[in-house]
Amino acid sequence: MRLSRRLSIAITALLAAGACAAVPAAPAPGNEPPGLTATTAETGLPRAPEQEAVAFEHADLHFRVDPAQRRIDGDAALTFRALRPLSRLVVDLDRNYAIAAVDVDGQALPTGAWSNPQGRMSVSLPQPLAAGARTTLRIRYGGAPHVATRAPWDGGFVWSRAPTGETWVASAIQGEGCDLLWPCIDHPQGEPRRVDLHVSVPAPLVAVGNGVATGMDEQDGWRTYHWRARDPTTYAIAINVGPYELLADEYRSRFGNTIPLRFWYLRGNAAKARALFAEFPKLLEFFEASIGPYPFGDEKMGVVETPYLGMEHQTVNAYGNDYKLTEFGYDWLLQHEFAHEWFGNQMTNADWDDMWLHEGFGSYMQPLYLQWLRGDREYDAWLLNQRKTLANKVPIVSGHAMTEDAVYNRETGPGLDIYYKGSLLLHTLRQLIGDQAFFAATRQLVYGTATPRPGNFRPRYASTRDFIDAVNAATGRDYGWFFDVYVYSAALPELLATRDATGLTLQWGAPGGKPFPMPLQVRVDGRDIDLPMADGRGRIELSPHALYTIDPHSRVLRALPYIDAYQADAAARQQAAAAAKAAEDKPAE
């Protein structure tokens, strides 16, 4: 089951008891599509040579969503510019959809000109395409989309009912990719430059989309909503249909622009929605002051209530946290998904192997926001909760191309560590190099410039190497040793502390004997002493009865035996409880 191996959102019940606003309705009997092929079930597989040979300029997507039949009909016109001569185009599309027609630049193609046996669709062009030339591939298709058994961990469509009884439909496709919904290039680097999205739904339902609303038409009992977005991440293009009402306002940014604020909520939730909507300006103030301009200020900061927990759908983030606040007095899910507008949508990982740049930064924004909102105690408390989850079995970056499943798989991949180890190493880096260098490097990573202003940057791809280079440039020093240990190694560094008659000797032991000149603080009888640890060693002279505390401000991520013991005990108790439950449920012989 996907739930046992995939984690598609950042904070689990370890940090907050998130729950969906409504339980998704079960698929109609006999209406489930066949199983996905291995190609469709994966996202981030290596692109076909033909996919690498094109620039994806425009996707004009029409969807007719029929809740009664639990069916969608799609009409996708995809415009590509050839980077080198081509004789065919290749896109990804779930082969469970029936393809009604295919044409290229208005010329209908015979069925023999295209094939889609495993979900990677190949289309032979009527005439070869020269480098620099453009062509538009149009595919009309339809059928029952893959149903998500528990979105967002299991990708697909959610066919549900709002608490007031109306149809409530949403897509969540990060785990399996954009080919569950539309013919795309299912890879992080497959983003189209522009998307026009047209969604037809039975009146009076509302269809909410990415980007800017460009109108709505109504005819014969159906409404068609029109949206336009630029540079959306492939899995961010979303279907959201329901009996929505709208809260709207504007935010005047410190950068001089005005940002539309939009929240589509379910009828009956007005009071709770207004309270959540009041958090929008605070989030913008924090992120713009800490990181830089909201990347999509010319479109909107948008949120839509969904029948599943959440997802970072660019400019229309999915929200299903049922308006619950943490003990810290804020909505963690709203804040985390909003963080992905910077770390995921503006800056997109070049490969799934770099996914920690999305989830590690996205997870670090929670304690950082709390530090700004409430102070150091709550910052430290959130980091401690993250520290308890680390597995440290697999490096968070392998150094080679990965699929989404290989990264999120907690049995064989880094799993949750891309969230929480990523967050904690960022905390350690910030303590090591200071706020000025840390945030300068972060801005360079996100925007590709140290001085972002609205209009002087575009969404970009980035890798772990790009962040290392940004850190080195911001500090004027080589911090490769830091990333070698925390990013490219599985185990955490160990600190050996030995006290003798005259003092305390400290020595780092890094995985594989790697250099690790991490400075330390030691508190001796209430006074903090800085140790450079330049060669991985340090010593402090102590009087016989002196009391000391190593790393009193918890600045350095390192192996902690008491955390390991806690994790082992918790796992043993969980296994014992599961065995007892199985024995209790076993029928008598």
Model pLDDT for residues 197-223, shown as the tens digit of each residue: 999 999 999 999 999 999 999 999 999
348-369: burial string, b at 16+ Cβ within 10 Å, e else: bbbbbbbbbbbbbbbbbbbbbb
Two tokens at 78?
């995809």
Give the CATH architecture of domain 494-558.
Answer: Sandwich (2.60)
β-strands 86-92, 71-82: how paired?
A: unpaired
Q: How many residues does the chain have?
A: 589
At 588, the pLDDT band (50, 70, 90 cuts) reads low
Mean pLDDT of 237-245: 97
Start-end of H helices in 183-340: 270-277, 279-290, 332-339
Is 586 a residue whose pLDDT tops 80? Answer: no
Q: Report pLDDT for 150.
A: 87
At 388, the pLDDT band (50, 70, 90 cuts) reads very high
Considering the chain, tell me which residue range(s) the CATH 2.60.40.1730 domain(s) occupy: 2-249
Is 14 a residue whose pLDDT tops 80? Answer: no
478-521 per-position pLDDT tens digit:
999 999 999 999 999 999 999 999 999 999 999 999 999 999 99
One-letter amino acid at 39 equals: T
> CA-to-CA distance for 305 and 184, rounded, in angstroms?
26
Q: Report pLDDT for 587.
A: 75
Mean pLDDT of 280-299: 98
Is 6 a residue whose pLDDT tops 80? Answer: no
> CA-to-CA distance for 448 and 430, rounded, in angstroms?
20
Question: What letter would DSSP give residue 513?
Answer: G
Query: In 10 A of CB 81, how many CB atoms?
Result: 16
Is 2 a residue whose pLDDT tops 50? Answer: no
> CA-to-CA distance for 309 and 332, rounded, in angstroms?
11
338-371 per-position pLDDT tens digit:
999 999 999 999 999 999 999 999 999 999 999 9
| Residue 359 annotated as binding site | yes
Burial class of residue 476 (count of CB atoms within 10 Å of its CB; 0-12, 13-18, 19+):
exposed
The percent of residues in the chain predicted with pLDDT above 90, rounded, is: 90
On whether the 350-486 domain is CATH 1.20.1070.10, my answer is no
Place of tokens 């700004």: 372
CB 439 within 8 A of CB 445: no
> CA-to-CA distance for 378 and 374, rounded, in angstroms?
7
Mean pLDDT of 416-445: 98
530-567: burial string, b at 16+ Cβ within 10 Å, e else: ebebeebebebebeeeeebeebeebbbbbebeeeeeee
| Residue 340 annotated as binding site | yes
Mean pLDDT of 231-250: 96
At 35, the pLDDT band (50, 70, 90 cuts) reads confident
> CA-to-CA distance for 161 and 243, rounded, in angstroms?
10
Query: In 10 A of CB 79, how many CB atoms?
Result: 20
At 34, the pLDDT band (50, 70, 90 cuts) reads low
Non-local (6+) Cβ contacts of 423 within 8 A are 360, 361, 363, 364, 366, 367, 383, 386
Is 589 a residue whose pLDDT tops 80? Answer: no
> What CATH topology corresponds to 2-249?
Immunoglobulin-like (2.60.40)
Q: Report pLDDT for 10.
A: 39
527-544 per-position pLDDT tens digit:
999 999 999 999 999 999
The percent of residues in the chain predicted with pLDDT above 70, rounded, is: 94
Two tokens at 351?
């490969």
Mean pLDDT score of the chain = 93
> CA-to-CA distance for 507 and 117, rounded, in angstroms?
58
The SS3 call for residue 178 is helix
Order of strands, edge to edge, in the sheet holding 114-115?
A: 86-92, 120-129, 114-115
What's the maximum distance between 2 C-alpha atoms anywhere in the chain?
Answer: 90
Question: What residues act catalytically?
Answer: 337, 419
Query: In 10 A of CB 185, how many CB atoms?
Result: 25
119-149 per-position pLDDT tens digit:
999 999 999 999 999 999 999 999 999 999 8
Q: Report pLDDT for 583.
A: 84
pTM: 0.92
Two tokens at 96?
């469970």
> CA-to-CA distance for 64 and 258, rounded, in angstroms?
33
CA-wise closest residue to 202 among 65, 89, 74: 65
CB 163 within 8 A of CB 133: no
Q: How many helices (H) and strands (E) does the chain have?
A: 13, 28
Order of strands, edge to edge, in the sheet holding 134-143?
A: 107-108, 98-104, 134-143, 71-82, 54-66, 194-202, 222-230, 212-219
Q: Report pLDDT for 582.
A: 84
Considering the chain, tell me which residue range(s) the CATH 1.10.390.10 domain(s) occupy: 350-486
Q: What is the DSSP string of 440-504?
A: HHHHHHHHSSSS--TTS---EEE-HHHHHHHHHHHHTS--HHHHHHHTS-SSPPEEEEEE-SSEE
Q: What angle do CA 63, 68, 69 make, to 5 degrees?
A: 70
